[in-house]
């Protein structure tokens, strides 16, 4: 079974992955056996009952109760096994253990925000402790997204105006990838994030130090790290190429024409407004699709990002 998992599936890194994989293999193996059996029987019967001479006449058979009951009851049993097994797995994934560590997940087009119990927010990085259940309470700020961690075998839709939740317990430290698995617009395929699984001790250290500003780093370098960490690169380039949003290259102090014909100079106030209220002014030829970073980035962090943009000429 382990060999089969290794061959067909990503590594199983959560406590519930084993049950999901077992059901997957059961459905798969049953289907293969039935496919082979039915295919073989069809070919064999086609040959056995072939027309041998001109006066071969097919006998009239109205029905065969024994046969019909058999081919109804066997699939019914198989389907009920899959249903019961699937239902128990579904209930298990829906009901988080009471001692679970809770993280709020906010999906926006096109990034993932994680809000921790101490008020810290991380973008596109979910940090969790190992060997401890983690409950995710999720919602979307815009359209339907879906939270999927292949290594944990968990997937749940993330909806606007409603909370959904899912939980997992990571069984080893390391990293796993998170995908958005509901088509949500142009940068859907870039809407990925990473789970970082730490020891309990490292997790606490990370939580405490996550908000601390690295004073030794020049502001522009901090800004560069922030831009990468905050999901900006899904829609903005730094080399002049056009993506979903305008490029950062040459943005500083450039004159930009807005949708309503207004010409704006890209100074500190314009950049700040674009981060906090992105839809207040829209560049001509672009769509109003950027999510607000209000509550995600602090004033100090916005300062750092402005310093970084200044360096991109």
Q: What does the binding site for ligand CUA look like in residue numbers (CB under 6 A)?
A: 110, 145, 180, 182-184, 188, 191
Nearer to ligand CUA, 12 or 158 (CB): 158
Answer yes or no: are the C-beta atoms of 86 and 153 closer than 8 Å.
no
Does residue 108 contact residue 73 with C-beta atoms inside 8 Å?
A: no
Under 8 Å between Cβ of 174 and 202: no
Rounded to whole angstroms, the Cα distance separating 35 from 224 reads: 55
Q: Please, which residue, 122 or 301, has the CB nearer to ligand CUA? A: 122
* Shortest distance in whole angstroms from residue 243 CB to ligand CUA: 16
Tokens of 245: 């949003």
Query: Smaller CB distance to ligand CUA: residue 166 or 180?
Result: 180
Pairing mode, if any, of strands 125-129 and 192-198?
parallel
CB of 208 to ligand CUA, least distance (A): 31
**Cα–Cα distance measured from residue 313 to residue 308, given in angstroms and rounded to the nearest whole number:** 10
d(CA 158, CA 140): 6
Is residue 213 within 8 A of residue 222, CB to CB? The reply is: yes
Other beta carbons less than 10 A from residue 129's beta carbon = 21
Shortest reach from residue 177's CB to ligand CUA, in Å = 14
Closer residue to ligand CUA (CB): 191 or 290? 191
Distance CA 90, CA 94 (A): 6
One-character DSSP codes across 239-297: SS---SS--STT-TT-EEEBTTS-EEE--HHHHHHHHHSTTSS-BTT--S-PPP-TTTS
* Smallest separation, CB 233 to ligand CUA (Å): 16
Nearer to ligand CUA, 96 or 143 (CB): 143
Toward ligand CUA, which CB reaches closer, 112 or 308?
112
- What's the number of CA atoms in the CB half-sphere (13 Å) around residue 9? 22
What's the min distance (Å) between Cβ of 183 and ligand CUA? Answer: 6
Cβ of residue 8: shortest distance to ligand CUA, in angstroms? 25
Closest CB to ligand CUA among 106 and 184? 184
> CA-to-CA distance for 134 and 105, rounded, in angstroms?
12
Residue 103 vs 106, nearer CB to ligand CUA: 106
Least distance in angstroms from the C-beta of 296 to ligand CUA:
17
């Amino acid at each position: 079974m382990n060999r089969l998992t290794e061959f067909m599936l990503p590594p199983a890194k959560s406590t519930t992955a084993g049950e999901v994989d077992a059901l997957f293999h059961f459905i798969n193996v049953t289907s293969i056996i039935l496919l082979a059996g039915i295919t073989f029987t069809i070919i064999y019967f086609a040959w056995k009952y072939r027309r041998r001479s001109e006066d071969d006449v097919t006998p009239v058979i109205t029905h065969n109760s024994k046969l019909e009951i058999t081919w109804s009851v066997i699939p019914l049993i198989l389907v009920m096994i899959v249903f019961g097994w699937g239902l128990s797995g579904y209930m298990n994934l829906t009901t988080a253990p009471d001692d679970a560590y809770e993280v709020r997940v906010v999906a926006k087009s096109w990034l993932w925000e994680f809000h921790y119990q101490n008020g810290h927010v991380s973008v596109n990085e979910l940090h969790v402790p190992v060997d401890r259940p983690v409950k995710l309470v999720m919602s979307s700020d815009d359209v339907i997204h879906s939270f999927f961690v292949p290594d944990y075998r968990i997937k749940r839709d993330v909806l606007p105006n409603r909370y959904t939740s899912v939980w997992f317990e990571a069984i080893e430290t390391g990293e796993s990838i998170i995908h958005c698995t509901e088509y949500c617009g142009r940068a859907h395929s870039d809407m990925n994030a990473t789970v970082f699984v730490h020891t309990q001790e490292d997790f606490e250290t990370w939580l405490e130090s996550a908000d601390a500003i690295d004073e030794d780093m020049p502001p522009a370098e901090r800004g560069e790290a922030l831009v990468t960490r905050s999901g900006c690169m899904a829609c903005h380039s730094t080399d002049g190429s056009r993506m979903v949003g305008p490029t950062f290259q040459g943005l500083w102090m450039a004159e930009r024409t807005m949708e309503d014909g207004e010409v704006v100079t890209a100074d500190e106030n314009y950049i700040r407004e674009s981060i906090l209220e992105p839809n207040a002014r829209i560049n001509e030829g672009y769509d109003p699709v950027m999510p607000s970073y209000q509550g995600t980035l602090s004033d100090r962090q916005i300062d750092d990002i402005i310093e970084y943009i200044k360096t991109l000429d």
